[in-house]
A and B are shown apart, each in its own frame.
Chain A
Amino acid sequence: MRKLKLVMVGNGMAGVRTLEELRKIAPDMYDITVFGAEPHPNYNRILLSPVLAGEMTIQDIILNDLQWYADNGITLHLGARVTEIDRRNRSVIATDRKGGTITVDYDRLLMATGSTPFMPPFPGRDLPGVISYRDIKDTDEMIAAAATFPHAVVIGAGLLGLEAANGLALRGMKVTVVHNSEWIMERQLDRTAGKMLQAELEKKGMRFRMNAQTAELVAGASGRVAAVKFKDGDAIPADLVCVAAGIRPNVELAEKAGIHCNRGIVVNDTLQTYDPRIYAVGECANHRGTAYGLVAPLFEQAKVCANHLAEMGISRYQGSVTSTKLKVTGIDVFSAGDFSGSDGAEDIVLHDPGLGIYKRIVLKDDKLVGAVLYGDTKDGAWYFQLLKDEQDISDIRDHLVFGNAHLGDVGHKGGNVAAGMPDSAEICGCNGVCKGTIVKAIQEHGLFSLEDVRRHTKASSSCGSCTGLVEQILASTVGGAYQPADSNNRAVCGCTELSHGEVRRAIREHKLLSVAEAQRHLGWRTPNGCATCRPALNYYCLSTWPHEATDDPQSRFINERAHANIQKDGTYSVVPRMWGGLTTPGELRAIADAAEKYKIPTVKVTGGQRIDLLGARKEDLPGIWSDLARAGLVSGHAYGKSLRTVKTCVGAEHCRFGTQRAMELGVKLEKMLYGMWSPHKVKLAVSGCPRNCAESGIKDVGVIGVDSGYEIYIGGNGGIKTEVAQFFAKAKDDDEVMAYSGAFIQLYREEGFYLERTCHYLERVGMEHVRQRVLEDADSRRALYERLLFALQDYTDPWAEICEDPSGGPRKREFEIIKVQEREI
């Protein structure tokens, strides 16, 4: 098949990102030609500020070097400006560096021309020494001017103007910032934060002229600009004038070709312009009335655009919420969302002028809609996440303004201390990654997303408890370019665009009964998925279609395949079930015998009230199991995303305080749930009285006996981040406890995302939802409970199943080692 021709105009951040996304999903579909007016390969424009400030060099900020284009077979014309699009003949015409003409045909055209700086029409704007701040050339000019001249004037105190002013000041110039409104960064900050920021920048030596109207730029004797004159007649000296008065989408070329433009090239949700062969991404595009000026939305556009260029046609771009951060070292400002004070919005303000801290958050209908932080921006990423997720904050409203720290600790959802940490601070305890390593990887490899950081540094890729911190580091290192994904809609993994919720829904609606069928139906990009998506798909099929879906052992993590826990040295641990923590001399004897017979090096009592045989060889597992099985012992599933243990205390059976028979109920619950697979592990506990010796307060389901019956608590977690279980319901007897907790667990099994513990599930769907489905609606509760019992009926112990298979079937054979003898010939 002939390859299609794709031509891209504009070699900037949005365009090249689109090509990167396209190469990922359709590497061979197009012959690609790129025109870039600048003489450089794609670089990270937002890091021009640190370059100007002397903190980085141009070499540091190159994102795709020439080799990248070559490796990907992309024809690159640098220093070549496209001057015309011939839509009838489908070709573009460009002028190269030497004035020559290049004509290239296209099947699809991608416009990524970015923006042009806006130059207000005051006299003198063409003088030497008057520049804008957009590219490497401008930056070089500013650096050169700073080495020769003393006075700089920056017109415009937005993000860009202030970063320019800061850089020039650091390079030794006397800088005056001229601004035409009452406070600086008025589009991002409210008045108070703007004034605080101004005071801080004044301390660094910058001068400000507010409410000032520039009348003209005046030339000196040499012909170079020498002064800025205001409408009130005043003038100040200026050897360099940097105009940062805003940007305008660069639509000249598109307009000339007759493509519909209106403050940007107008595109639909697939990033297509009015000419179906032509797409536009980045600052030049106007989507639903907005032309974005920050890179995070542009990257989202790039992803969607690539999907449509690849003719996959499944994603839409629906606009972005943006946040900003000023990249001036030593100053912390963060702003996101809307804080202009619209109808029905409420403000919460915390202002400590002594400490130089100001925080304002804006609420509307129990949701966070805006945030401005000054002086202490640690919680910026957290607020931004709440805002994007449109999370109901009524429960945490009291503490909201004090930040995430006041809600507990570093948390699963957003850390808050990263910015102030030294480079040597360990961020990821699992993989031993410190802050400096992460920052370095972000800068050297041009990383923008959490996924990228995980891939390159392994930070946050194991237990995930440091995810919040890593997101903070990303946010503070790349500034506004960091766009946290909407947590509920993250793609399952790189093999698909679909989120867990979408996959679950499709498996239910289309009755998909196996991993392979689901992958086929949902258009998986990889032949067999990966180690992340396969276990999730397998669980979703099994839990949605019990007794109908086919279990795929190869899509389970080794622990669930070997029915034992793999150890660091490749041996396994074996944990037999001890119902409710109870055992008998016969069982203990069988365990002792097996430990001796198979030379188990370590025998340990676990934190889950049972005994662990650690260090067993894989080939011995079937033997160990059959010995244990003879004494009536079954698998404890200490390895599975499944029911783990039901911890009990001695309860009313023995204890002088006991009000209820805890051991008896614990055993019943464990027998009821035996063999249950779940999104993540599930742990229960039953205590006989509120002294709570079984620690019911930190279990997925915790039951506490009281005089009149039981109290049920749900969503507790004693692991990475301790989470106290929430009171759920009162139950009058054992049967009610089983029905209520069974129904809740089934709801979690049906709605939970893979690897989401009950506490995270509860946080996502809300306690109200669970109460509604399990407590208020008795029919729904009954149906859930019945579905749970149906799914668990006829479960056979996996140990017995494997070792008693008389045919020595394939599952048993897998445990055997094939021995070969090499012979010298």
Chain B
Amino acid sequence: MTRWTRICALTDIPSLGSRVVESTGEGRIAVFRSSADQVFALHDRCPHKAGPLSQGIVHGTTVTCPLHGWKIRFEDGQVVAPDVGCAKPYPVKVEGGDVFLQI
């Protein structure tokens, strides 16, 4: 069973930045915040060579992996062509200024 867990306040995540959540079952999850204050969560492992996506540069709703520059889309975790691959996305929402993650 999955449930919503509060992880932090929205303001704890820098705009165009991220925070790392460590969960017992799923391992590390990167939670990103866009410049429009949307939040997204992806498994913190690049499909290329497991780079920590949380450490990449965020632009639009995409992150560029810090290790070799693959670009991963937040909405579905798909890698931007011509590279291929997918990082697992997780449901995440903002309510009353707090960020909730479903795991």
Q: Residues on A close to B: CB < 8 A? A: 431, 455-456, 458, 461-462, 526-531, 534-535, 553-555, 557-558, 562, 566, 568-570, 810, 813-814, 817-825
Contacts and interface: CB of A to CB of B under 8 A. Distances in A.
Contacts of B101: 820
B8 A822 contact: no
B17 A820 contact: no
Contact of B64 (A431, A531, A825): A531
A813 B55 contact: no
A813 B12 contact: yes
B21 A558 contact: no
Contacts of A431: 68
A33 to B, nearest CB: 28
The 8 closest A-B pairs by CB, nearest first: A531-B64, A531-B57, A554-B16, A570-B52, A558-B55, A528-B59, A558-B66, A818-B21
Contact of B20 (A526, A529, A817): A817
Nearest to B20: A817
Contacts of A535: 57
B64 to A, nearest CB: 4
Interface in B2-31: 3, 5, 7-8, 11-12, 14-17, 19-26, 28
Contacts of B82: 455-456
B14 A553 contact: yes
B59 A529 contact: yes
Contact of B60 (A526, A554, A813, A819): A526
23 contacts: A527-B60, A528-B58, A529-B59, A530-B64, A531-B56, A531-B57, A531-B64, A531-B69, A553-B14, A554-B58, A555-B16, A555-B57, A566-B67, A570-B55, A817-B21, A818-B19, A818-B22, A819-B22, A821-B24, A822-B23, A822-B24, A823-B3, A825-B3
Interface string B53-92: 0011111100010111100000000000010000000000
Interface of B: 1, 3, 5, 7-8, 11-12, 14-17, 19-26, 28, 35-36, 49-52, 55-60, 64, 66-69, 82, 101, 103
A462 B60 CA distance: 23
Given A817-B22, A818-B21, A820-B23, A566 B60 contact: no
Contacts of A820: 5, 7, 21-24, 101, 103
A442 to B, nearest CB: 13
Contacts, number: 97
Nearest to A810: B14
A462 B68 contact: yes
A818 B14 CA distance: 15
A817 B31 CA distance: 11
B90 to A, nearest CB: 11
Given A526-B60, A528-B35, A825 B15 contact: no
B59 A566 contact: no
B12 A530 contact: no
B51 A570 contact: yes
Contact of B1 (A456, A461, A568, A824): A824
Given A526-B60, A818-B19, A820-B103, 5 more contacts: A455-B82, A554-B16, A562-B55, A820-B7, A825-B1
Given A531-B64, A554-B58, A814 B22 contact: no
Contacts of B69: 461, 531
A530 B59 contact: yes
A593 B45 CA distance: 32
Contacts of B5: 820, 822
A554 B17 contact: yes
Contact of A568 (B23, B24, B57, B67): B67
A557 B1 CA distance: 38
Given A817-B21, A824-B1, A527 B59 contact: yes
A814 B67 contact: no
Nearest to A530: B59
A430 to B, nearest CB: 9
B22 A528 contact: no
Contacts of B8: 818
A814 B60 CA distance: 20
Contacts of B12: 810, 813
Nearest to A567: B67
B23 A531 contact: no
Nearest to B55: A558
